[in-house]
Structure formats: C-alpha cells, structure tokens
Amino acid sequence: RMGLGYEQLREINPALVYCTISGFGTTGPYARRAGFDLVAQGMSGLMSINGHPGGPPAKVGVPITDLNAGIFAAYGILTAYIHRLKTGEGQHVDTSLMESGIACTFWESAMYFATGNIPGPMGSAHRLTAPYQAFQTSDGYVNIGAANQSNWERLCRAIGREKLVEDTRFLQPSDRMDNIDDLTATLDETFASENSQHWLDTLAEAGVPAGPIYNMADVYADPQVQAREMMVEMDHPTAGRIKNIGVPVKLSETPGSVRSPSPLLGQHTDDVLSDMGCLEDEIAALRAAGVIQ
C-alpha cells in the first residue's frame, strides 16, 4: 500500500531478507483479517486445551503467540540469511500468530492426527505420563515430575507409599494414566499432610524432579535466577534506577547483556536518520514539518 512491500523492495535489492509477522499470514482467506494474541490463542486450539476439565476456555497467561511468532521470525530470518550467504538471494520470511500457536500444540495435534480424538484441558497434568502435575500441600502447591518408571518408584519410596509401586492400578505408565483420577486422589491425600518445603526437601534428597510454584517475587529472589543474571539493574533517564529481565541465552565467546533501557520517544531518531544518509538540515526540516520529534 505504501510501496514498501517485499515485491517492491526486492526490485531495488534482490538480496533483501524481508520479514512479516501478522495475525494469520500473508496468504489464505484470513490474510487481511486483524488478529491479536487472544484471537490467535483461540483459533490455534490453545484455549481449548488450557485450563481445567469442565472449566471455561482459558488463555495462556503470557501472550504466547506474540512471543513465539517473534522467535519463529528470528530463526526464519537467520535461515534466509544463511541462504543469502550461499546464493546471494534474499527472500520473504512470513509467519503469524496463529501458526505460532498451532506449533505449540505438538502433543495435542499428534494425538488428534493419530486417533481422531479431540483433546481437552488437563489442568497442570500431562497427557501421556503421571504423576506429572501440581499437588496441593498443607500450605500451597508443589510440582511433581515423576515422568518415568524409575522416578515413580523413587517418589513412592520418598513419600512413604512404597506399596503403590505394586498397586495394579499404577504398575506401568499406561496404568497410571488409565487410573489418573485414583492416582491423583491418593497422592493428594499424602501431600496434604506436610508443607511444601518438607516435600521439596524430601524429593530433592530422593532425586525426584520437583519444584515450587513461584510468584514473581519468588522468581527473582531465587539464587539460581540471580546466579544466571536474569534480573539486571540500570539507570533510566527519567525513571531513575530500574530493573529489567536479563538475557536468557548465554554465549561463551560473545555473551550478550542488557546495557540500556528502552529508548525514549524519538531518542535515537537523529542517529538512525544519519545512518541512513540524511544530512543535519534534512533532519531539521523533517522535525520542523512535524514528521519526526
């Protein structure tokens, strides 16, 4: 519409790698339809598998399709860039919120493809293995990830329920899934007898994967989070000292860091336009005309 589409720009620079992220992609019957994360979560199936059985549709708490679309776009751009290094040819990288949501449904899609059955919500439980969910303790909840036979047997010994290993309802992973309601009720009774820290200490000593369920204050107080520098502090020109999320990928030779806060409106306009070849008087004219601030 503005002459800035891929087809127009590739005529100027055939090596251009051009990326678009939209609600539904640039092709198909919904190409011009507006879309936000909430809409994409619903239409990708995510809201049909999130939440608890019998409850209303629930969206993932974070804008997961927005976030994933950005990640998919990044690796699409890198893939296109590698192709350009080899051939000199650019290309259009096209992804969408809806597709990024569908890509998250790998378990549910595979089950539907294989059986024709339509999966529903499972709460915090896993679709294929148990016990693998949050259990209520006397003062909160803990996550238990006894996702295979050896972990299941260690769990039973650690919580003093050794006889469950020989219970015919729970002998193998498939048995535990077939009787997941009985299994959950049995373990709920046990975990409710002690507080969360007791169970976390007990399970850690036994080598059973388990963890607390943190709120945001808990997250940033955790020594592992601090050791991995996932909270950083910096000075902001108007807000003073602020905190921000750190870099989640650590590189041994070229480590990244968060060095500055988000820019103020127009803070880097002159720098960007200068890099594009604009002269000072041209930038001043744009500012005088109200085109830039």
30-47 tens-digit pLDDT: 999 999 999 999 999 999
Radius of gyration of the chain measured on its C-alpha atoms: 26
Q: Which amino acid is it at 115?
A: T
> What pTM was computed for the model?
0.88
Query: Mean pLDDT of residues grouped by 10 in the chain (293 residues)?
Result: 88 97 98 97 98 96 98 98 98 98 97 97 95 98 96 98 97 96 97 98 98 98 98 94 96 94 92 95 95 91
Residue 270 pLDDT: 95
What ranges do the domains of the chain cover? 6-115, 132-213, 263-293
- Is the fold of 6-115 the same as that of 132-213? no
Q: Which amino acid is it at 208?
A: V
Residue 293 pLDDT: 86
DSSP 20: E
Question: Cα–Cα distances in Å, from 183 out to 132, 142, 230, 268?
Answer: 11, 16, 37, 59
How far separated are the first and last CA of the chain, in Å rounded? Answer: 25
What is the chain's mean pLDDT, rounded? 96
How many other C-beta atoms lie within 10 A of the C-beta of residue 142?
20
102-138 tens-digit pLDDT: 999 999 999 999 999 999 999 999 999 999 999 999 9
Which CATH topology does 6-115 take? Rossmann fold (3.40.50)
Q: Which long-range contacts (CB under 8 A, 24 or more apart) does 189-197 make?
A: 190/159, 190/160, 190/161, 191/135, 191/136, 191/137, 191/142, 191/159, 192/136, 192/137, 192/138, 193/138, 194/137, 194/138, 195/137, 195/138, 195/139, 195/140, 196/137, 196/138, 196/139, 196/140, 196/141, 196/142
Contacts of residue 149, Cβ cutoff 8 Å, sequence gap at least 6? 172, 173
Angle at 255 between CA 251 and CA 258, to 5 degrees: 125
Residues 122 and 181: their CA atoms lie apart, in Å, by 11
Cite the DSSP H helix spans in the chain: 6-12, 37-43, 46-49, 64-87, 97-103, 106-115, 149-158, 173-178, 180-191, 196-206, 216-221, 223-227, 269-275, 280-288
Catalytic annotation, residues: 66
User: SS3 string of 94-108?
Assistant: EEEHHHHHHHCCHHH
Q: Which amino acid is it at 190?
A: T
β-pairing, 240-245 vs 231-236, is antiparallel
Residue 15 pLDDT: 98
Residue 1 pLDDT: 72
Residues 41 and 65: their CA atoms lie apart, in Å, by 7
- Choose which CATH entry (3.40.50.720, 3.40.50.300, 3.30.70.890, 3.30.1540.10) describes domain 132-213: 3.30.1540.10
CA dihedral 184→186→187→189, nearest 10 degrees, is: 120
Residue 62 pLDDT: 97
Residue 3 pLDDT: 82
Residues 41 and 43: their CA atoms lie apart, in Å, by 6
Six-digit token string for 30: 């919904």
